[in-house]
Amino acid sequence: MARSELTPQDKANQKKISLTLNELSNSRKISQVEISRATKIPAGTLNGYFKGTSLPSPGNVQKLADFFNVFKSDIDPRFGKIDNIIPITKTVKIPLLGEIACGDPILAEENIEEYIDEPVNYLPSGKCFYLKAKGDSMKPTIPSGSNVLIRQQPDVEDDEIAAVLMTETNEATLKRIKRSNGTMFLMPDNPEFTPIIVGEDNPTRILGKAVRVVTDL
């Protein structure tokens, strides 16, 4: 997930969770491997919590709290006391895109499967939409079935994850962007998958930058 697009509150929460998990594991001399086995949280996902690069789902916060025998609020400030909660002043409807019709603007009504309510406090600036991840090419970063929040923009930096439209098939894919000697590559995070080379025979268009992954238990 692209860290630069996180809200200040998201960044503060990631830092607090990372610090707490490292303190708990170090004080009890427990490795991430042991925690992963006991909680059934995938090792890659757990490592993101420890490094402060991703936010745990409520279910995973509960698993970690149960494992360490602490309160959820001891690990994740989002479960803190009422007076520490940031009030949600407004929500907006973010479109979840399905099949993308040829030639239509990306947010055309016929491309939208449904809308997801999101608090404005937790959204980056600009136009946003959701894509549902399909397949295992971006595991463990993006599990299949996850909803991925995309900030609409025409380009991204190397090593950032983008929503990319394969223009010949009108299918959107999520891949990490790499460029070398004037050629762009769509890189999977899963080493079992092959990179896609972008060219005249395989034209693409970047739709936006992935900024958040939402996974249901």
Best CA proximity match to 48, nearest among 203, 189, 204, 193? 189
178 is catalytic: no
175 is catalytic: yes
CA dist., res. 72 & res. 81, Å (int): 11
CA dist., res. 183 & res. 94, Å (int): 33
CA dist., res. 200 & res. 55, Å (int): 39
DSSP 3-state assignment of 201?
A: coil
Query: Which of 54, 137, 146, 209 does the annotation list as catalytic?
Result: 137
DSSP per residue over 20-32, as a string?
A: HHHHHHHHHT--H
Q: Which residues contact 38 (CB under 8 A, 6 or more apart)?
A: 67
Structure tokens belonging to residue 27: 């004080």
CA dist., res. 36 & res. 93, Å (int): 35
Query: Any idea what the Cα angle at residue 56 is, between residues 51 and 61, rounded to 5°?
Result: 115
Query: Any idea what the Cα angle at residue 4 is, between residues 199 and 203, rounded to 5°?
Result: 10
Query: Which of 63, 139, 175, 209 does the annotation list as catalytic?
Result: 175
Residues with active-site annotation: 137, 175
